[in-house]
Amino acid sequence: MGEGVGVCLPITSSPYHPITLVMTPVENFPYLSVMTFLPMLAALVILFIPRITQQAARSIALITALGSLVMSIVVLARFDPQAPFEAGITVPFQERINWGQEVGASYFLGIDGIAALLLVLTTLISVISIIWSWDTVNTRVREYYIAILLLETGMLGVFVALDMFLFYIFWELMLIPMALLIGIWGSTNRVYAAVKFFLYTLFGSLLMLVGIVATYWAYYQQTGILTLDVLQLTQGEYGRTFQILVFLTFFIAFAVKVPLFPFHTWLPDAHVEAPTAASVILAAVMLKMGGYGFLRFNLPLFPEGTRFWQPWVIALSVIAILYGALVALVQPDMKKLIAYSSVSHMAFVTLGIFVLNIQGLDGAMLVMLAHGFNTGALFLLVGVIYERAHTRLIANFSGLAAVLPMWSGFFVLFMLASIGLPGLSGFPGEFLAALGAWNFNPWVAVPTFAVVIFAAWYMMWLTQRVVWGRPKGVMPDPHDGALTPTETALLAASAHAGHGHSGGYGQAVPGPVPRIAGGSQEHSPDAPNPSEVPAVHGADDLDHEHGWHAGATSEVPGEQRQIWPDLSVKELLTLLPLAVLTIYLGVYPQAVLTIVEPALQRILALVTP
C-alpha cells in the first residue's frame, strides 16, 4: 500500500465509547457500499436513458457487473480472516452510518470470511449470467438487465448487511426481480412458477420479520438499548423458551431458501420455468442465502434454540439428502433432474451446520461454494442444449459426444464434480460434512455416505443416456460388439428395407458411423420397443421449430438427426471460470478453509456450551 496522509475518523456505536481509527485513504474507501450499489446505479442509468439501445443496456450491465467483481476480489485479497468480528470493534471493511439512532437502526455493513467468499461467488455468477444473456435474451432487453442488476444489489446486500433492518430490506429486494425474471422471460408455466416462488419466499420473509421484531424488543427489555446491530444482539441473553420459538421464525425463512424438505416444492417449478441465467443465479447464489442465514442468525443468536431443534433439523436434512436423490432418478427432464439434485446437495449444507462441529461447518461452507460452481455450470450446459434443440427431455438426446464434443467434455467434468469425484470440488465438502455427521452420530452418517451411490446413479445414468451411445438419426455400426436390442432391430429393419421390402426407405443405407461406447436410451422408459420398427417420417414431419437441423438427413426411420454447432466463444467464456474453480477447489480446499475457519470457530464457540 502506498503511503498517504492518515484520516482520523471518530466512530460511535452506542453504548460503547467512541473509537478513533487512523485509516489510510485506501482503507477508508467504501468498498462494500460501492460494490453493492454499483449494479443498482447501473439499473437506474438504463431506466432513465430514453430510448436506450439493447447493445447499450447490455454493455452498461456488463461493465458495472465487472466492476463489482473486481471490487469483491480486491476485498477478498485484502481481507484478514483473523480480524475480530464482534460488537464495539471496528475493523477494515466495516461501514457504519447511524441514521436512525432513535430506533436503533443504522447503515452498517461488514464481512467475515464466510461473507467475503460468497461476495466473490455472487459477483462472478452475475457476470456469467449477463454474458450468457448477451444474445439469448432479445425481448424487453432493457427491463431484463434492470432486473438482473437490482437482483445483484439485493444479493450482495444480504451478505454485507450487519443491521437487521437493512438485511431485511436487501432480502426483500431480491424477491421481486427474481419473480419477474421467471414470470416474464420464463417458459410455458412461468407465471405459475413465479407466483409460487413469490408466495413461498414472502411467507418465510414475514415470519423472519416477526423474529426480528421479537429479538429487537427482547434485547431492549434486557438492556434498555434499542439496536438492530446483529453483532450487538448476539451478546444478548434470551430465555430458553424465547429462543426455541423465535429460532423457528428465522429457520423457516432460511429453510425455504435452501430449500430444505418439506419447504422445497417451489424449487423444481422455478428452475424449470426460469430462463437459463435466472436458473444459474438461483442455484449458484440464492440457495446459499439459506445456509448463510443459519450461520449469521440462527446459531449465534439462539444457541439454546439451536441445540433444542438440532435433532429435528438433522433428521430433515437426512430425509432431504435421500429424497432429492431418489426423486432425481425418475425425472425425464434434464433441468428438473438437476433441480432435485440441488435439494439433495444443499441438505448437506444444513446437515454440516447443525452437527455443530468444525468438520461439519467446514464441509457446509465448501459444499455451498462447490454447488455454486457445479450446479450453475450444469444449468448453463442444459441451457446450451435448449438453445439448440428447444427441448430438455432426456429421451430426445443420445450420443452427443459425437455431435458436441466440447459440450460433452464440460458436462462430464461437472457431472463428476457433482457426484463427488476426489480431486474435484464436490468431494471435500461432502466428505467433511459426512465426517462431521459421523463424529456427531455414526447412524446419521450412514445415509449420507449411502447417498453417494444414488448421486452417481442419477448423474451417470443421465450422462450415459445423453452423452454416450449412438447419435440420434445415425445408423448403428453392424460390427459393433455392444449393440443394444433396439440397434439390432434397426439394422435388421434397414437390411430388410434394402432388399426392397419397404416402400421407399433404405434404398441406400449410408456407411455406419461408429458410436461412442456406453449405450444410449436402451434402459429409458421412453426408449422404443426393440420389437417394433419405428414409423417412417417424411421430410415434412421434422420438427424444425425445435431446433433440428433443417438439412440433416436421418439414416434411421423415426429419428431426427442432431446436427448442431458446438460451444461458442461466449459459452466457453461462461464455463471456463467455473471449470477452473471446480478443479482448484477440489485440489486445494485449504485455500477456502483458511479464510472461513476463524469465522466458523467463532460461531461454534457461541453455540456450543
Q: Dump pLDDT digits (tens) for 407-455.
A: 999 999 999 998 888 999 988 998 899 899 999 888 888 887 777 788 8
Up-side HSE of residue 265: CA atoms within 13 Å toward CB? 6
pTM as predicted: 0.82
For residue 87, give the C-alpha cell.
460488537
Distance between CA 464 and CA 517 in Å, rounded? 9
Distance between CA 299 and CA 288 in Å, rounded? 16
Contact 98, 12 (CB under 8 A): yes
φ, ψ (nearest 5 deg) of residue 516: -80, 125
pLDDT of 526: 38
Alpha carbon dihedral 483, 487, 490, 492, in 10-degree steps, equals 20
For residue 52, give the C-alpha cell.
436506450
Name residue 278's beta-bridge partners: none
- If one counts every other C-beta atom within 10 angstroms of the C-beta of residue 518, the result is 17
For residue 436, give the C-alpha cell.
462431521
Q: How confident is the model at residue 573 (pLDDT cuts 50, 70, 90)?
A: very high
Distance between CA 362 and CA 358 in Å, rounded? 6
pLDDT of 71: 93
Distance between CA 463 and CA 469 in Å, rounded? 10
The one-character DSSP state at 394 is G
Which residues, at least 6 apart from 240, have a Cβ–Cβ distance to it below 8 Å? 304, 305, 308
Contact 570, 409 (CB under 8 A): no
For residue 156, give the C-alpha cell.
450482495
pLDDT tens column, 379-399: 999 999 888 888 888 888 877
Radius of gyration of the chain (CA): 27
Is 110 strand, coil or helix? strand
Evaluate if residue 6 carries a pLDDT over 50.
no
Contact 547, 389 (CB under 8 A): yes
pLDDT of 186: 84
Q: How confident is the model at residue 496 (pLDDT cuts 50, 70, 90)?
A: low
Contact 363, 352 (CB under 8 A): yes
Q: Which helix (H) or strand (E) holds 571?
A: helix 569-587
Distance between CA 515 and CA 468 in Å, rounded? 8
Residue whose C-alpha is closest to residue 433's, from 371, 501, 475 = 371
Q: How confident is the model at residue 126 (pLDDT cuts 50, 70, 90)?
A: very high
What is the distance, to the nearest Å, from the Cα of residue 349 to the centroid of all Cα atoms in its chain?
13
Distance between CA 199 and CA 195 in Å, rounded? 6
% of the chain beyond a pLDDT of 70: 80
Reported in sequence order, the residue ranges of 103-202 that DSSP labels E, i.e. its strands, are: 105-110
What average pLDDT score do residues 461-475 get? 73
Cα→Cα distances 51→39, 45, 393, 415, 482, Å: 20, 12, 39, 43, 60
